[in-house]
Amino acid sequence: MWPLAVLLVTCIFTQSQCAQDVLEERNDLLERELAMMVGSSIKLSDSELKANEIIMKLKHEEMDHGFIYPNQFNVSKHFFEYKDEVMKTKLFQIIQRMPKGAVLHAHDIGLLSPDYVLALTYWEDLWFCRTEDKSKIEFHFSKTTPVNRCATKWIFMKDARNASGDVKKFDAELRKYFTIVIDNPNEVYTDVNAVWQRFQEYFNSCGNLFSYKPVYEQYYYDTLVEFRKDEIMYIEIRSTLPSLYDLDGNVYDSVETAKSYKRVTEKFMRDYPDSFGAKLIYAPMKLVDKATLQEYIRIALEIQTLMPDFLVGFDLVGQEDLGVPLREFIHELAEVRERLDFYLHAGETNWYGTTSDENLFDAIVLGTKRIGHGFALIKHPLLMEEVKKRQIALEVNVVSNNVLKLVEDPRNHPLATYLSQNIPVLLSSDNPGVWESLPMSHDFYVTFVGVASRHADLRLIKQLALNSLYYSSYPDKHKLVHEFEIRWTKFIDTIVKGKW
């Protein structure tokens, strides 16, 4: 028989070894899972490792405080409640200075702040018409009273402002039409349709304000400037290409609007030679019949013939649940997929098995180069494998998905799964001006702090920025990435030296 002391030692040793084996297996599983994450293949330099320590300390402080006090974790709230507060944090200020690559999913007149839009109402020759209850408003530039129909009567903006007796109050009321931000979003925006109705009212209200040709061109130029300030190198802008007008009664069709985009882009690149400019995705509304779609396609092909290096593709936009499903247009789109590249919205829905959800299948078989949103892809394991195999990037818009009621808490955003499985993914911002976020800084911050793993570090956000370049349609990606690396090195240096 073994002496009692030997038996006790053996038992303790065995228990200790068992515990060690379990811990080693746990750590192995964790490391293997982290190795699957977006950015895991990036090897950080010595300087990046030092910067990473600083960034992760700030990230962990915010997350750990929120873990202990969940009601104080900003990112779990509605975006309107914390969008200004987080800008005061050191981590946000670092992200604001970070090179963010490209914006590949942004819509023409939803990009600049309501304060910018309000300033447009100080332009000469502007008239407005408002319903008696002030629920709706429209604008028009004209030398004389506009001939357009009006629900009440046309009022000259300058006269109305001067006669208001309180210009500050007048402007504050006017500003409300240029934003969907309110104090009680969860009470007013009770569901997807409710917030989308208000979202659509923004575009309806501002339609004729923006489609005045001088305003449209200035707005686009200033968009490029503003995005450059937020450390964005390149943009692929989606536009409905609305008809524009001027004071002389001229009306400019969609092709002419595309020419305006190209001219303004060229001017911007002359003024800011460090920028890589922008390209155009023609993206008209999807709630149309087949005859209208055929006209859209004709316009796209005409623009492509005229500007083959500027127009990069075609999309259809609008509230996906209420739009015409892509399968209704399969024949028309399939006929031109060899001549037009597609960058299709799909899966911007929280339904499963509906036509809006199954737009994902249609987009993939139509050969889309990227998928706009792809929110519902999480429910389709086969399609997740397909987008990886076919290298179809998802253009994820985290803040947009929160504001437009697809997800209440970004911690539950499907992007968390896409990141963990190294799905081809990039970040974008959709219509940041409408909900008063910065062009890209808020989306990166919310993703880093509120969506990604606590373990996700500098490698993740660097990879997301690089992905926006890799999956862009820019012809010389090597040049684009090379310039990004130069800017990234300077950014890392500012962190290490504490200059942020």
Does the active-site annotation cover 348? Answer: yes
Residue 19, pLDDT score: 85
**How far is CA 486 from each of CA 93, 462, 479, rounded to the nearest angstrom?**
20, 13, 11
Per-residue pLDDT of the chain in tens (500 residues, 90 and over written 9):
556 555 445 555 576 888 888 999 999 999 999 999 999 999 999 999 999 999 999 999 999 999 999 999 999 999 999 999 999 999 999 999 999 999 999 999 999 999 999 999 999 999 999 999 999 999 999 999 999 889 899 999 999 999 999 999 999 999 999 999 999 999 999 999 999 999 999 999 999 999 999 999 999 999 999 999 999 999 999 999 999 999 999 999 999 999 999 999 999 999 999 999 999 999 999 999 999 999 999 999 999 999 999 999 999 999 999 999 999 999 999 999 999 999 999 999 999 999 999 999 999 999 999 999 999 999 999 999 999 999 999 999 999 999 999 999 999 999 999 999 999 999 999 999 999 999 999 999 999 999 999 999 999 999 999 999 999 999 999 999 999 999 999 999 999 998 77
pTM of the model as a whole:
0.95
Does the active-site annotation cover 53? Answer: no
Catalytic residue among 138, 231, 236, 348: 348
Domain ranges across the chain: 79-113+213-496, 116-188
Q: Which CATH superfamily is domain 79-113+213-496 in?
A: Metal-dependent hydrolases (3.20.20.140)
**How far is CA 321 from each of CA 164, 345, 439, rounded to the nearest angstrom?**
42, 12, 26
Catalytic residue among 345, 373, 380, 442: 373
Residue 5, pLDDT score: 54
